[in-house]
Amino acid sequence: MAADVWARVDGYFEDRFVQNDPVLLEVLKSSDEHGLPPHNVSPCQGMFLYILARSICAARILEIGTLGGYSTIWLARALSDQGVILTIEANEKYASVAAKNFVDSGMKDKIVLLNKEATLALQELVDKGVEPFDLIFVDADKSNNPAYLDLALNLVRVGTVIIGDNVVREGEVANALSQDCRVRGVRQFCDDLADNNTLKSTAIQTVGSKGYDGFTMSIVEQLQF
Ligand code: DHB
Ligand code: MG
């Protein structure tokens, strides 16, 4: 089955379920105009994140990897009234594009953007003893996924849901010999999820306008000591 069919079908669903959302279209346009890589989630995936966050009544969301803030805005829209999303972006240019997108989207008051290397930002959150998060979306540089998971597990409660984006990588996740540091990071991340007996985890493969990829989904069943 060819990638053009996946994209066409994604377009079909997008036309029905996401339709014209001028705010989000503007975010994609500004990200593109500033030369950001097209690594945002697709519109249907954005709606999936929104529905997931609403389903669990998320009031505190942590996103690792902001890029232009497209998924951040989807997740921010799902927050309860007093809710907040902390989003971490190491790249200064991406963070400045995202910051402007947060203002333009009217969602700025619900979003805290930390323009820092994610391991540093996460360690600071741990040291500060911040309240645990309800939902954690891991979507930054994939080679560091294991470190992000390690730190993020100090910021959870029983019931926290953790999503890891882009774990299939056109099937390369199943290639034990891959020398690609992103694939190796994702494979270690999956091993760490599997070996962690405080979590239940699964992975869902996806096709669509973003090609062949997928995500992990985990829930914290008990706290680790
Ligand atoms: C890549 C990263 C992403 O977060 C994404 O959604 C797609 C691709 C990448 O690094 O290749
Ligand atoms: Mg991604």
Residue 19 has pLDDT above 90, yes or no: no
| Residue minimizing CA distance to atom 9 of ligand 1 | 39
Q: What mean pLDDT is predicted for residues 142-150?
A: 98
Report whether pLDDT(13) > 90: yes
Q: Name the residue of 39, 45, 206, 209 to mutate for ligand 1: max ligand atoms within 8 A of Cβ.
A: 39
Please give the average per-residue pLDDT across 117-125, as a whole number: 98
So what's the pLDDT on residue 110? 98
Is ligand 1 within 6 A of the CB of residue 166? yes
pLDDT at position 143: 98
Q: What are the residues whose beta carbons fall under 8 Å from the beta carbon of 61, sequence distance 6 or more? A: 53, 75, 76, 79, 83, 84, 85, 86, 133, 134, 135, 136, 137
Residue 2 CA to ligand 1 centre (angstroms): 20
Percent of the chain with pLDDT over 70: 100
**How many other C-beta atoms can be found within 10 angstroms of the C-beta atom of residue 125?**
20
The mean per-residue pLDDT over the stretch 75-84 comes to 96
Cα of 138 vs centre of ligand 1, distance in Å, is 11
Give residue 202's pLDDT.
Answer: 98
Query: Can you give the pLDDT at residue 20?
Result: 85
CB distance 27 to 94 below 8 Å: no
pLDDT of residue 24: 96
The pLDDT score that the predictor gives to residue 7 is 96
pLDDT in tens, 200-218: 999 999 999 999 999 999 9
pLDDT for 1: 62
Residues forming a β-bridge with 174: none
Binding site membership of 14 for ligand 1 (Cβ less than 6 Å): no
The ligand 1 atom at the shortest distance from the C-alpha of residue 140 is: 4
Are 122 and 151 spatial neighbours (Cβ–Cβ below 8 Å)? yes
How far, CA to CA in Å, does 39 sit from each of 52, 57, 143, 155?
Answer: 20, 27, 15, 26
pLDDT at 209: 95
In this structure, the residue with its CA closest to atom 7 of ligand 1 is 39
Which residue is closest in CA terms to ligand 1's atom 5?
A: 39
DSSP 44: H
pTM exceeding the 0.95 threshold for the entire prediction: yes
What residue owns the CA closest to ligand 1's atom 8? 39
Mean pLDDT of the chain: 97
Q: Is the pLDDT of residue 224 over 90?
A: no
Average pLDDT of the residues in 126-146? 98
| pLDDT over 90 (residue 188) | yes
Cα separation, 47 vs 197, whole angstroms: 30
